[in-house]
Amino acid sequence: MLKHRSGRRLLAALAMLCAFNAVAEEEAPERFVQNERDHTAYIVNADGSYVEQREWALKVLKEQALEAVKEASISYSTSIQKAEVLQAYTLKPDGRRIDVPKSNYQVQTNGGKGDGGPVFSDYSSLTVVFPELAVGDTVVFSYKLVASKPMFDGQFSVVDGFSSDTYYGDGRISIDAPVSLQAQYQAWNLKQTRDETKDGRRLLEWSYSNTAPKKNKDDAAAIYDIEKSIAVAYSTFRSYADIADAYGKRALPKAAVTPRIQKLADEIAAGKQQPRDVAKALYEWVSTNITYAGNCIGLGAVVPHDLDFILDNKMGDCKDHATLLQALLAAKGISSEQDLINSGNLYTLPKIPVASMVNHVFNYIPSLDLYADATAKGIPFGMLPIQSAGKPILPVGGERKEARTPAWPLGSNRQRMSTVLKIQPDGSVTGKVKVELNGMYAIAARAGFRDVSKDTYKDVTKNFFQNMGLIASGTFTSEDPKPLLDTYSYSSEFEVKEMLPIPGAFRIAPAFFNISSVAHFASSATSEIDEKNDTSCVSGYSEEEYVYEFPEQVKVVAVPPDLAVAGDALDYKATYELKGNVLKVKRVFDDRTPGSTCTPAFNKAYKEFTQKVLPNLKAQVVYQ
């Protein structure tokens, strides 16, 4: 199920304040708020519907937190949930209680026109504003959400927990469910305080306290490992296959081939004979013609729209994209299945099968042995976005019971950049740069230029140098970025006024926009290593060639030394050849990281390797 915004979410929003004011890593970060109480209770019904009740009390310790703490919001699905605020008040240090007046409540609803329902998202938010809030006050907020319908009939599953870098005085999570609902659960780093059965119901409760929180490294690439978290997973599903079956029961019938679907498939695939060419045409049509909108897998959003609705509106969420593509493929005799996957940093599904662990859906074509994610815009046929590589999936309605997407192939992500710069006596520079890209680098660059207007194209070069405080003119040319391809190239010719000091020195670096420079790889030399968690990772290759032509009256007195460093999965080689007043440079960084995840030991070795490379990149060309 979806987690709703609560005190826990509010504390997460305050994390940035703590990050900028934290002391040494081994010490506690400076706290701006203090979570005195954080209680969550789930009361589950026999049909899987439930009531979720939350209460939290946040004490304001610093003035910087007042802006964030003065509001609290609940997000909920209007069609199947009702929200009710039980208590909302400001508690003063002297014991005075100031209740939130009804005039401080605000509800925002996603609704349809007239009597019509919302098209894609029916989520609403209820916000309260706490009055007379000051440092030292405590805001108390409790509410309940009544879910009249379960996500899946007769089933309930949830993951809930606490943050290790947050102060908690009294944290509790409880689940009260009928004994008739066969359930399994597992808790990590929580203390179980209750396990009682009475009147046909079983009550489970866990507690947590953390009065001396430690600062966690903020690494966006860190892999989520539930066994290292402070959480509990509870589920009435017996297996992940049951989750896939429950989704497919309502989703797959929507993929029926109708006369309209058959006609559209025939039009799109006209002239195509080979199954791969047919599938590619259908995939590209869905990817480029159906825009993304609305919820994906989540509470109240596990059934795709009707295909006519999707086609009429040319919009849909991931379920709609996958269902439409499946129907179009079927119309041309190509069998496919839908697969559920986690779109975040989860690379291993926890033992307890919880529906929220898979929150995205795409297609798999068995006869071609390839995946197709039409929701991920800009991705070429036969490829998946990086965040979907090397992950477990739940096949829906196919013969496979368990599967994992492939990691990105080694050597597929490449950048080659060639640069020629002619330096004038006054330091002005005329030059040209060409960049050739493959793999995700090409996909990213195409995405960046795909919607750029012709007028903007004219000023790309001028604006690039202007953003660096330089006056420049020039031209920019590129391949058409719109096709869904994993190759792309572009070039620029320019003249930049007084770009370099004469005499002077400079580091060798890209002179124009690029996706993945050699220096980008070497930046790991100064990064912090998470010694506890694996990270997501992928291979890459960057090659740079430079030709610098200095004016006759300038003498080059120093250039960086050649360097070659080799490792198990990494290689760096740089050569610097000076002949007269022409300097030729070639640098190559070959990263053969196997992916899709890397251990702390691998990341440490990577950092040590790049520390050998970084001084070479910092070395300067000196001239007089």
For the chain, give every domain's residue range: 7-236, 242-404, 414-623
Which positions of the chain have pLDDT values less than 50? 1-26, 113-116, 299
Say if CB 336 and CB 265 are below 8 A apart. no
d(CA 506, CA 508): 6
Q: Which pLDDT value is given to residue 544?
A: 98
Residue 76 forms beta bridges with which residues? 124
Say if CB 534 and CB 223 are below 8 A apart. yes
Q: Which pLDDT value is given to residue 108?
A: 82
Q: Which pLDDT value is given to residue 296?
A: 57
DSSP symbols for 598-618: E-HHHHHHHHHHHHHHHHHHH
Question: pLDDT tens for residues 210-237?
Answer: 999 987 766 778 889 998 899 999 999 9
User: What are the backbone angles phi and psi of residue 280, rounded to the nearest 5°?
Assistant: -65, -45
**Per CATH, the architecture of 7-236 is what?**
Sandwich (2.60)
Q: Which pLDDT value is given to residue 120?
A: 60
Class level of CATH domain 414-623: mainly beta
Which of helix, strand or coil describes residue 444? helix
Output the CA angle 32-37-40, nearest 5 degrees: 125
Which of helix, strand or coil describes residue 206? strand
524-542: buried (b, 16+ CB within 10 Å) or exposed (e) per residue? Answer: bbeeebbeebbbbbbbbbb
Q: Which pLDDT value is given to residue 398?
A: 77
Let me know if domain 242-404 sits in CATH 3.90.1150.10: no
Q: Which pLDDT value is given to residue 98?
A: 96
Say how many residues make up the chain: 624
d(CA 71, CA 69): 5
Amino acid at 458: K
Q: Which pLDDT value is given to residue 13?
A: 34
Q: Which pLDDT value is given to residue 531?
A: 85
In 3D space, the residue among 102, 115, 218 whose CA is nearest the CA of residue 164 turns out to be: 218
Question: pLDDT tens for residues 145-164?
Answer: 998 888 899 999 999 999 99
Q: Which pLDDT value is given to residue 77?
A: 82
Q: Which pLDDT value is given to residue 451?
A: 87
Beta strands at 138-147 and 81-91: parallel, antiparallel or unpaired: antiparallel
